[in-house]
Structure 1
């Protein structure tokens, strides 16, 4: 029996109030917790406020903060370089690894539930705990890696290797998240497509890359956006190790150092945060345009 859905004009006063609250309350929370701080940061990026003095003492400095960031702030360009390296590793190593693991698990190998749980477990752990776990591996004096190799490398302290050491830990965590996304996508692929490819004589490799992978285009877009944003906002693991210094500079750690660090510079830190916002918005807006165009 078909259901008849009421229009908004046919709802009772009580239902209209409930619907109104369901729309107004989440919208108000998003505006207050997301948009107001974001707009406030953009506005503060054009000031020299130190976060301590009265609001009446805020003075506009125009684009001075942005010019200083690009010209006389040494950690900025290394941080950009490190974020790009982070993005490349997450995109070309962690993401394909997660996709490969998803394909293996989707085939129903023996012990699938155990492997799925084990690989996804790092995702539910806090970044502080992940950092501690890898500290047991990377410690110079008591770490597992140096004990096996017989070396004395300070994996977290040596600026020539610490970024790569952290990226291994980040890949360990990120690949589990990507695996889950692709596993969900693989479960949604119509089995008849695989059967048709098999009838046509396609190998498993050809079936995946020429039939299954293109069908998962929405998942691929989500993975692209998630990987880009996660690489840009990478923070927790690096901050736990050395607060983003000595070869581990990232844009996110520079923002924190200037906003809540020893030398509080809210205006300068807000300019860095605005740069992060602008970069991340490019891909998000592109993703939304693609999705809305398809719909």
Structure 2
């Protein structure tokens, strides 16, 4: 008797497979369904970080945007807030003499970090990717400054830049006769601090590019070598285009690092005498002696818009080129 006949007559299949086996789609559905306990754990793992992120990032950010349209000294309740519209922004751009120098310094900071640490980090990553002897040691030594806080970096470079007893003036031989005041001269102190910031940032850029170089398919390099391409041509035409995602990450990290710079200049001279930055102005207006919450919030919004402007413009150019290709 066939399996069809057994099924029609209500008798079980002797092998017990045709009549008792569930449909394949039911087995798949049971295999992919999560138990209730796993759903709870997954919900907690996703929900708690999301809630913390919203409470401590988005709520303060939106609150700062709202307060930028107000005049409030931080004393009293919310009923004491006076809403002034765009007056804070008008005053910042027209009546605040420290704003334009701080904005100029931030832009110089950004361009400097985009050029020097990025190029140096890429060069170091290419050298370390060649499996040098003691490469791990070099990598750890170059990345070590990134582990240090910017405040500690500022303290270390203060010792290097000391006029009489500092390392730099002693190496230049000017410690005893007309020592250079690297951090006290407003014409050069910004660039002296930028060297310290670049020293810290280079190791991070190096690590990002090194990770990107490790992911490049060796077959692409071998194919370029077989076609007669030199090492420089292989890097510029094969390796570097593959690093486009890393370039985006480096850009975003550098923009954020440049615009949020605060610790190192505040350690040196509290962001004055040639070291004015937008982040310092935000701090001075919100928690400083003036305590102008509206002005400080408006400055923070301007800082946010500048950072988003750089990042969105670059991403728009990148994605538009990909669509054309």
Q: 1:20 to 1:9 in 2, by over 3 A?
A: farther
In structure 2, which of residues 233, 238, 249 is the aligned counterpart of residue 211 of structure 1? 238
**CA distances 1:112-135 after superposition (whole Å, capped 9, x unpaired):** 112111110000011121111111
> Which whole-Å CA distance do the structure 2 matches of 1:82 and 1:71 have between them?
18
In structure 2, which of residues 146, 162, 182 is the aligned counterpart of residue 123 of structure 1? 146
Higher relative contact order (CA 8 A, sep 6+): 1
Aligned to 1:36: 59
> Which whole-Å CA distance do the structure 2 matches of 1:144 and 1:7 have between them?
70
Q: CA deviation at 1:30?
A: 0.9
Q: CA deviation at 1:280?
A: 1.8
Aligned to 1:152: 179
Bigger CA drift: 228-237 or 264-273?
A: 228-237
**CA distances 1:263-290 after superposition (whole Å, capped 9, x unpaired):** 1111110000011112222344457766
Structure 2 residue 96 is the aligned partner of structure 1 residue 73: yes
Q: CA deviation at 1:197?
A: 1.0
Aligned to 1:262: 289
Aligned to 1:182: 209
* 1:41–1:274 CA contact under 8 A, matched in 2: yes
Q: CA deviation at 1:192?
A: 0.6
Q: 1:119 to 1:9 in 2, by over 3 A?
A: closer
Calculate the TM-score normalised by the size of structure 1.
Answer: 0.93
> Which whole-Å CA distance do the structure 2 matches of 1:85 and 1:99 have between them?
21
> Which whole-Å CA distance do the structure 1 matches of 2:75 and 2:281 have between them?
19
> Which whole-Å CA distance do the structure 2 matches of 1:8 and 1:29 have between them?
33
Calculate the TM-score normalised by the size of structure 2.
Answer: 0.85
Q: 1:55 to 1:101 in 2, by over 3 A?
A: same
Aligned to 1:55: 78
Bigger CA drift: 282-291 or 181-190?
A: 282-291
For structure 2, the residue ranges without an aligned partner over 5 or more in a row are 1-26
**CA distances 1:189-229 after superposition (whole Å, capped 9, x unpaired):** 00011111111111111111111000111001111111112
> Which whole-Å CA distance do the structure 1 matches of 2:171 and 2:219 have between them?
49
Structure 2 residue 243 is the aligned partner of structure 1 residue 243: no
For structure 1, the residue ranges without an aligned partner over 5 or more in a row are none
Q: CA deviation at 1:97?
A: 0.5
Corresponding residue pairs, total: 292
Of the two, which has the highest radius of gyration?
A: 2
> Which whole-Å CA distance do the structure 2 matches of 1:277 and 1:115 have between them?
36
